[in-house]
A = this chain, B = another copy of it.
Amino acid sequence: MIFASDNWAGAHPAIAHSLAAHAGGCVPAYGASELDLKVEQRFSEIFGREVAVFFVGTGTAANSLALATANRPGGVVFCHREAHVNVDECGAPAFFSHGARLNPVDGAFGKMDAARLEAEIRRFPPEFVHGGQPMAITIAQATESGTVYSLDEIEAIAAIARAHRLPLHMDGARFANALVGLDITPAEMTWKRGVDLLSFGGTKNGCWCAEAVVLFDLSKAPEMQFLRKQTAQLFSKSRFIAAQFDAYFAGDLWLDLARHANAMAKRLADGIAASASSRLAWTPAANEVFVIMKREMATRLQQEGAVFYDWHVPQHLAGILGENEGLYRLVTSFVTAPDDVDRFVAAC
């Protein structure tokens, strides 16, 4: 009953096998091998247009590097208050951008409210040097709350980005989970809706360590080469990331794994919704389920072997929690077994 995080899982057998299969021989380092180039080409096919791809080691690196391409003096990035970049990356975006600040924007269920976003940006008029200047907008898809922006919601935010000439970044640490949730193409969820920069995550969905910055604006690629190296994210044996992505994409494995994780989340959510003792904080759209239950019940479940985390209660939910109730996050992954879900629901 491990629902701690999707990064507690290891690697899918096909991905582990691909790594082993590419372990032999000598090939050019630093991303110049045939396999590297093949996988980069695969990204372009998946997105239905030429893209520039940069393999990196962590999701935090992908987010920080993508945002750093937009860096400007006194720069301000707009993100949801509960966004991973804002609360879980130890200031990495600010570090990579030499002091760029994250400006939190509120919005229900982990999604920025477009009107509030517009209002926050307006606090930085171009002539007011003291405040600083907007430099980018970032959304997570799926969000930290396990919700997913609809295409219309992405478009609304992209329109604001365009109006203010700001690049729009998407944190896709759980890109596949959002994608299969919406059941659309990668192109539809990104550049066709105005996304300029993407952090494409594979780690949480069955890879050991496979993250990439995807640039839809190819003119930024040359600088990114140096930016990645200067920030120590250029891997010498780059093919070990390429080999993972190679298996990840083969036969649409990545979509199957995400569908499984999402299905397990739905099974869990349905069970909890039907239970007498706990309830959903909101409806999950990907592979994270947020549950409200009595604190002592959570403690009991944890003592019985269930692993999941207490979660910080967002302000807009503060009124919803009853006495002695807490908010808990349960995450499913490609390895989550239906039995485990059912055992948890039964224990509730």
Q: Which residues of A does B touch, CB under 8 Å?
A: 2, 4-5, 7-13, 15-17, 19-20, 22-30, 56-61, 64, 72-76, 87-92, 94-102, 123, 126, 129-133, 203-204, 208-209, 222-223, 225-227, 229-237, 239-240, 312, 333, 335
Contacting residues, chain B, for A236 (C-beta < 8 A): 5, 7, 58-59, 203-204
A226, B129: Cβ atoms closer than 8 Å: yes
A137 to B29, CA, bound (A): 29
A91, B99: Cβ atoms closer than 8 Å: yes
A186 to B57, CA, bound (A): 28
Q: Which of A29, A100, A222 has the largest count of B CB atoms less than 10 A from its CB? A: A29
Contacting residues, chain B, for A225 (C-beta < 8 A): 129
Interface residues of A: mostly helix, strand, loop or mixed?
Answer: loop
- Closest approach, in angstroms, between the C-beta of A238 and any C-beta of chain B? 9
Q: Which of A12, A25, A99, A123 has the largest count of B CB atoms less than 10 A from its CB? A: A99
Contacting residues, chain B, for A222 (C-beta < 8 A): 126
A99, B8: Cβ atoms closer than 8 Å: no
A230, B26: Cβ atoms closer than 8 Å: no
List, sorted by A's number, 15 A–B pairs whose CB atoms are closer than 8 Å: A4-B26, A7-B236, A11-B240, A17-B20, A25-B335, A57-B233, A59-B236, A61-B232, A73-B231, A90-B131, A90-B132, A92-B230, A129-B234, A203-B236, A232-B233
